[in-house]
Amino acid sequence: MQYHVNGRLVPAEAATVSVEDRGFLYGDAAFETCRAYGGTVFEWDAHLSRLEGTCETLGMAGAVPDDLRDRIGATLDANGLSDAYVRVSVTRGVQPGKLTPATDVEPSVVVIVKPLPRGEDVWDGPADVRTVERRRIPESAMPADAKTHNYLDGILARLELRGTGADEALVRDVDGAVAEGATSNVFFVDDGTLKTPSLAGPILPGVTRAVVLDLAADLAIPVETGTYGVDAVRTADEAFLTNTTWEVRPIATVDGGAVGGGQVTDRLADAFDRRVEPLYDGSD
C-alpha cells in the first residue's frame, strides 16, 4: 500500500508524522472518513465542507489544501483501488512552543486508503447495540460538529462493550437522551415515522445521516428529529445505524432485546444502493 503524506506518495510502512506534530501530541487535527465507489469519493462536497468547518472550529481555517481531492485520487490510483475506505487528516503540524496554537499553520495532510469492496457487507451482520455509561461530550465543552483526532470519547464507549458481544455502543448525552453510536448515527422507526436525534443535541452531523434523511424525503417517509430516551429505541418497530463505512446497517438488538430492521430500513437501504450504483459509470 501507498499513502499520501504532505504532498507525496510513500509506502505505508514509511508513512509517518513527527512525534512533535500536534496531531500526535494533542489530537489537534481534523479528519474525514470517506468511501470511494468506482473511483468516486461519495458525497465528497459534504465531507470537504465538514473538514473545512472542523479546521475553522480549530482556528486553522484554510488549512485544507486546494488539491486534496487530487491527492485522494492519486492515492487510490497508486494502489489500484476504485472501491475503498479513505481517511483524510489535516493536522496543525509542528509548531514552536507548547499548547497555544500559533496563527501560522503548516498543516500535515495525510491520506490513508484501504480496499473496501462493495457488495459484500463490511460488517458481519446487523448490529448488536448496548447502552453504555460513558456520555457524549456536551457542546459547551467540545463542538459536536467538529470531527477531530480527539476520539477517546468513542473509544471509551467501545471499551465498555468488551465481553458483552455487542459491536456498537449506544451513547447518551449528559442528560440521558440518546445521542449516537461511537462511530454512527442512530435511526429508528416508530409507527411508520423515521426518527433520529436532532442536531440540537451533541451529535455529529453524519454525511450518511444527511443522505438517509434526503432519501426519506424522496420516498415520502415521514421524518421526525427530536430528543429520545433509550426506551424509544428499545421499543421501536425498526432501528438502524448509519456511517460512511456501514451505510445503512440494521440494529438486531438493543441491550439484548430484539429490534431488527424492517420495511422502512429496507426501502432506505435499497434507495441508498440506487444512489451509489451510478457512480460505477466511472464519471467522477
- Which residues, in sequence order, are CB contacts of 5 under 8 Å at separation 6+? 15, 16, 17, 108, 109, 110, 111
Work out which of 45, 115, 117, 151 binds a second copy, going by CB under 8 A: 151
CA-to-CA distance for 14 and 76, rounded, in angstroms? Answer: 17
Nearest CA-CA partner of 110 in 183, 23, 182: 23
- Residue appearing with cell numbers 497508486: 78
Work out which of 155, 200, 217, 219 binds a second copy, going by CB under 8 A: 155
- Count residues binding a second copy (CB under 8 A): 58
User: Of 62-70, 140-148, 187-195, 222-230, which part binds a second copy (CB under 8 A)?
Assistant: 140-148
> Is residue 28 within 8 Å of residue 59, measured between CB atoms?
no
Min separation Cβ 82 and a second copy, Å: 21
Alpha helix stretches (DSSP H) within 180-262: 207-218, 230-234
CA-to-CA distance for 279 and 282, rounded, in angstroms? Answer: 6
Min separation Cβ 98 and a second copy, Å: 7
> Is residue 265 within 8 Å of residue 190, measured between CB atoms?
no
Min separation Cβ 87 and a second copy, Å: 8
User: Of 153-161, 249-257, 261-269, 276-284, which part binds a second copy (CB under 8 A)?
Assistant: 153-161
Work out which of 39, 107, 126, 154 binds a second copy, going by CB under 8 A: 154
Angle in degrees, 0-180, between the axes of helices 207-218 and 44-57, rounded to the nearest 10: 140
Pick the closer one to a second copy by CB: 120 or 191.
120
- Residue appearing with cell numbers 449506544: 170
**Coil, strand or helix at 33:** strand
Site for a second copy, residues 112 to 131, rule: CB under 8 A: 112
Q: Does 148 bind a second copy (CB under 8 A)?
A: yes
Q: Does 21 bind a second copy (CB under 8 A)?
A: yes
Min separation Cβ 100 and a second copy, Å: 5
Binding mask 77-116 for a second copy (x = CB under 8 A): ----------x-x--------xxxx-x------x-x----
In degrees and rounded to multiples of 5, residue 84 shows phi and psi of -155, 155
Neighbours of 237 (CB within 10 A): 17
Q: Does 136 bind a second copy (CB under 8 A)?
A: yes
**Strand pairing report for 8-11 and 2-5:** antiparallel
Q: Does 63 bind a second copy (CB under 8 A)?
A: no
> Is residue 16 within 8 Å of residue 22, measured between CB atoms?
no
Positions touching a second copy (CB under 8 A) are: 3, 5, 12-13, 15-21, 23-28, 31, 57-59, 87, 89, 98-101, 103, 110, 112, 133-138, 140-143, 148-156, 158-159, 161-162, 167, 174, 182-183, 245
